[in-house]
Amino acid sequence: MEQEIKSFVSYLHEVKKTSQNTELSYQRDLMKMMRFLQSQKVEKLQDVTETNLNSYILDLEKKGMAAATVSRNIASMKAFYLYMMRNGEVTADPAENLKAPKVEKKVPDVLSVAEVEKLLEQPGERTAKGLRDRAMLELLYATGIRVTELISLRVSDVNWKLDYIVCQDRTRERIIPFGMKARKALDQYMESARADLIGDKECDMLFPNCSGESMSRQGFWKLLKHYAKQAGIKMEITPHTLRHSFAAHLVDNGADLRVVQEMLGHSDISTTMMYAVRTREVYAKAHPRG
């Protein structure tokens, strides 16, 4: 079964052009399924039944897995067995009738404008690291890109004349503008800090780490937590919190949902609609006739 899972992940990578995170997620879900089936003495893909898979789903629920996690695992199994059916590896699809639990879309937590401003003020302007960190935070809030997209940016991805970035993933690219404050932070960083960080190394990453190499997601997460603590922000924030805040503040100020959807790279407008729901909730609480 492990070989079939590897074949499926290769298909995702080579044919579907999915992101590395997506591939790892599928692989993790399916390997977990395989280990459960093996514990039930089911070794071969062809021997798996709908009852086996339902038992696995019940096991996930008994372990307290969130409905969203269970739903993702079911989606992974359905995609995997559909691929196996098309390849003729199985003659029946045991995942076809699996039902995912209902997942309520939670309106994401966002920072207030004042909290964002306080956060962006934290990196110092006297060190190369401080200038880099300020430019990263400013650009993240200005564009709403994902942390993986931020740390993957290259110098050539920035249009310095028209103030926009080209953000690329495996299937498409997005052109996202940024404002004057982000431009000022980027200019200061490029003029006074980046050369100090890369030293003699050849590096085309826009935001290298302090060793002149690519920054990791964990590295950025740590620096964000550090500055949030310095800013006195009590909310538990992640890099995605700034992405949510970017979108929510745009919608709060009347931005068109389709435009926000395009900048965020959402494939489904319903995902972007969460921010409109939040705006209505804020209005209902704050307006005297809400």
Cα 102 to chain centroid distance, Å, stands at 22
DSSP string covering 59-72, please? HHHHTT--HHHHHH
For 162-221, the pLDDT digits (tens) are 998 888 766 677 888 888 999 999 999 999 999 998 888 888 899 998 888 888 888 998
Q: Which of 179, 202, 197, 181 is nearest to 132 (CA)?
A: 197
Residues 56 and 123 in one domain: no
For 113-154, the pLDDT digits (tens) are 899 899 999 998 789 999 999 999 999 988 888 888 899 999
Rounded to two decimals, the pTM is: 0.61
Paired tokens of 199: 């030293």
Q: Would you give the DSSP letter of residue 110?
A: -
141: in domain? yes
Alpha-carbon Rg for the chain in angstroms:
22
What is the per-residue burial (b if ≥16 Cβ within 10 Å, else e) of 54-93?
A: eebbeebeeeebeeebbbbbbbbbbbbbebbeeeeebeeb
Residues 71 and 137 in one domain: no
For 4-44, the pLDDT digits (tens) are 999 999 998 888 888 888 889 999 999 999 999 999 999 88
Amino acid type, 9:
V
229: in domain? yes
CATH number at residue 13: 1.10.150
- Quick check: 272 and 266 in contact, CB under 8 A? yes
191: in domain? yes
- Total domains, the chain: 2
CA atoms within 13 A of residue 170's CA, in its CB half-sphere: 13
CATH number at residue 156: 1.10.443.10
Residues 138 and 57 in one domain: no
- Quick check: 248 and 178 in contact, CB under 8 A? no
- Dihedral (CA of 96, 101, 107, 109) sign: negative
99, burial (CB in 10 Å: exposed 0-12, middle 13-18, buried 19+): exposed
Residues 60 and 123 in one domain: no
